[in-house]
Structure 1
């Protein structure tokens, strides 16, 4: 049985994130996913600068987002970020955005990132040693 690594943060919807109808513009949910990944990285010692220090960048190559509820300026949201373990040299996350008052599901989504060398942007086909070490430290392998 694999261990789930989950991290949640709560934040308020800013005025700059809403459209002329007063609801969050759909593209900002991608940023919420990014906020979740950054907070996850801080908690689990897997920050973007760590990848970079080991010679990699990790671009998002796939993103999926399903909208369930409307969110408005001033609302609060919970961003739940779930690491999805896998053997290939990629990083998968799932996301759930929730209303902290009602618990209603607002959005679900996922992202996939790959390892590219920071200098030549060549694709890494096997897990970098530091990432394998991170998985071991987290009890994932």
Structure 2
């Protein structure tokens, strides 16, 4: 793991999210603010469905970093966490210029499987745009095989995150 202690708050993308920051919240949710830019949308200004997956991954990786797990360090140690299952329900479309919060948390760990839950909601919490779940599995990068157990540092950090 990296010994980096960079605890600087994130720089907001625009004034619409100035008061937001990456943070763990009640119910063990981690919150990741996003703003819909033109490249996130189709020609009608509606967010393309694959963009939501990218935001979910950004939130998950940032969440791990917030508890001391830098994904690049994890990969350098020989462990990867590929997605093996995704379930998404689109409730309402986000549009260009809108801001939202991607919420994520781990809801279960079964051996080397880590199940994450997601909600994307409006900044004022009145609209749910998406709910979803993603399952990751720890894989030994060198052997290309599923690991027998999570690296202890990852397992311990995830357990602490759920407390």
Is TM > 0.5 for Structure 1 vs Structure 2? yes
* TM-score (norm. length: structure 1): 0.86
Aligned pairs for 1:91-130 (under 5 A) are 91-101=114-124, 103-130=126-153
C-alpha displacement of 1:7: 0.7
Matches within 5 A, 1:1-141: 4-101=27-124, 103-135=126-158, 138=160
1:134 and 1:27 map into 2 onto residues whose CA distance is 29
1:23 Cα shift? 0.3
Distance in 2 of aligned mates of 1:139 and 1:69: 29
Aligned residues: 138
Can you give the 5+ residue segments of structure 2 that lack an aligned partner in the other structure? 1-25
Q: 1:131 to 1:24 in 2, by over 3 A?
A: same
Deviant stretches of 4+, over 2 Å? 125-136
Partner Cα separation in structure 2 for residue 51 and residue 17 of structure 1: 28
Q: How far 1:43 sits from its partner (Å)?
A: 1.3
- Flag the structure with more relative contact order, 1 or 2, with Cα contacts below 8 A and sequence separation at least 6: 1
C-alpha RMSD over aligned residues: 2.1
Residue 95 of structure 1, CA deviation = 0.4
- Mark the runs of 5 or more structure 1 residues left unpaired by the alignment: none
- The alignment's TM-score, normalised by the length of structure 2, stands at 0.76
Counterparts of 1:117 and 1:74, CA distance in 2: 40
For the 8 Å contact 2:28–2:162, the answer to whether it is kept is no
